[in-house]
Amino acid sequence: MTWLITGGAGYIGAHIVEAMTEAGERTVVYDDLSTGVAERVPDGVPLVVGSTLDGERVARALTDHEVTGVVHLAAKKQVAESLERPLHYYRENVEGLRVLLDAVTAAGVPSFVLSSSAAVYGTPDVDLVTEETPCVPLAPYGETKLAGEWLVRAAGRAAGLSTACLRYFNVAGAARPELADTGVSNLVPMVFEKLTAEEPPRVFGDDYPTPDGTCVRDYVHVVDLAEAHVAAARALRASPGRDLTLNIGRGEGVSVREMIDRVTALTGHGLAPVVTARRPGDPARVVASADRAAALLGWKARLGVDDMITSAWGGWLLRHPEAARG
């Protein structure tokens, strides 16, 4: 098979391309490079520069590269920005997916894996979130991910498309420094940015109903996440007609304060965090049950939080050598 990876030049996408390639799968990257980096695409992997809103270009890419499966990651992903620009998020994340699915079904591509998010759950009042937990997203970002799942499942039923919707929890870490996250919208790089500037990291609210008052999240290493995509892709190929919806997480909660303490300890920076106001759309606790992924894919996260922090720090130091202590 040949897999088209939309957003394959991005942080998560590049790890999936590498994992798929190492597993012997042929890949093609489709990316508009608005946030992706062309240098992340491995030698020998074709790169098609384009938007998922460009149906003709998508269709040509599917045909030119004889694509037989799609992993769709290209999307806007910042919760706060989605509150400010909801129409932009619906256009990019929902209409872009609709255009892509139109081309995929017209070309007869049999398998489709969607990058979804734990944001679809909103504020779940449970210790562990299962795939049956009601979806009540808090912000347009989560709404667009849930609408995307509906589109994928509907297209799958109508066209006989095998589908998998993977709901990511909080992704961190790097396979190697060159592939590390270059953005600062996630907690770990946000802390790195503050420490590099010799400023205290920020905690957005400490009055949540959690043990230490800060938000609790389930962090998963990006290498484990990439391996979950390989497992999902192979499951769809092995059993045509499947319709999977799976949480991808570790099943362990870590609070924001605990995470910051571990970052400062592992990097050698000792600045204590400061507490600021809550951010809109942040639920108190979201921790996965990943039992279904284990049962249906044989997948389980292997790497822990310290692995995530140290590997991400290596990538940060590659671009910010001034952050090194001593």
Q: What is the mean pLDDT of residues 17-24?
A: 96
pLDDT at 271: 85
Residue 282, Cα to own-chain centre: how many angstroms? 17
Q: What is the pTM of this model?
A: 0.94
Q: How far is CA 138 from the centre of its chain?
A: 18
Predicted pLDDT at 50: 97
Core vs surface per residue 300-324: b (16+ CB within 10 A) or e? ebebebebbbebbbebbbeeeeebe
* Range in 8-12, 78-82, 148-152 with the lowest mean pLDDT: 78-82
pLDDT of 326: 46
Domains of the chain (ranges, CATH numbers): 2-171+220-248 (3.40.50.720), 172-217+251-287+302-323 (3.90.25.10)
The model's pLDDT over 222-268, given as tens digits with 9 standing for 90+, comes to 999 999 999 999 999 998 889 999 999 999 999 999 999 999 999 99
Q: Is residue 31 pLDDT above 70, yes or no? A: yes
* 254 touches 301 (CB < 8 A): no
302-320 pLDDT, tens digit each: 999 999 999 999 999 999 9
Over residues 205-225, the mean pLDDT reads 96
| DSSP output for 120-139 | GG-S--SSSB-TTS----SS
As a whole-number percent, the residues of the chain with pLDDT over 70 amount to 99
> What is the per-residue pLDDT across 127-142, written as a single tens digit (0 to 9) for each?
999 999 999 998 999 9
Q: Considering only 43-52, 107-116, 177-186, 209-218, which range has the smallest mean pLDDT? A: 177-186
Average pLDDT on 288-304 reads 97
Question: Of 141, 168, 208, 219, which residue is the catalytic one?
Answer: 141
Q: Which of 115, 118, 150 is nearest to 137 (CA)?
A: 118
* pLDDT tier for residue 1 given thresholds of 50, 70 and 90: confident
CA–CA separation, 150 vs 177, rounded Å? 36
Active site residue 141: yes
Structure tokens at 308: 């995530």
Sign of the torsion angle spanned by Cα atoms 199, 203, 205, 210: negative
Structural contact between residues 144 and 75, judged by C-beta atoms closer than 8 angstroms: yes
The DSSP annotation for 138-180 comes to: SSHHHHHHHHHHHHHHHHHHHHT-EEEEEEE-EEE--SSGGGS
Q: What is the mean pLDDT of the chain?
A: 95
Q: How far is CA 120 from CA 113, 127, 130, 135, in A?
A: 17, 16, 12, 5
Query: What residues pair up with 202 in beta bridges, in sequence order?
Result: 274
Statement: residue 58 has pLDDT above 90: yes
Residue 272, burial from CB neighbour count under 10 angstroms (0-12, 13-18, 19+): exposed
* Interval 85-91 mean pLDDT: 98
Say if residue 52's pLDDT is above 70. Answer: yes
What is the average pLDDT across 108-126?
Answer: 95
Question: If you count them, how many residues does the chain have?
Answer: 326
**Which residues does residue 114 pair with via DSSP β-bridges, in sequence order?**
72, 165
Q: What is the pLDDT of residue 279?
A: 84
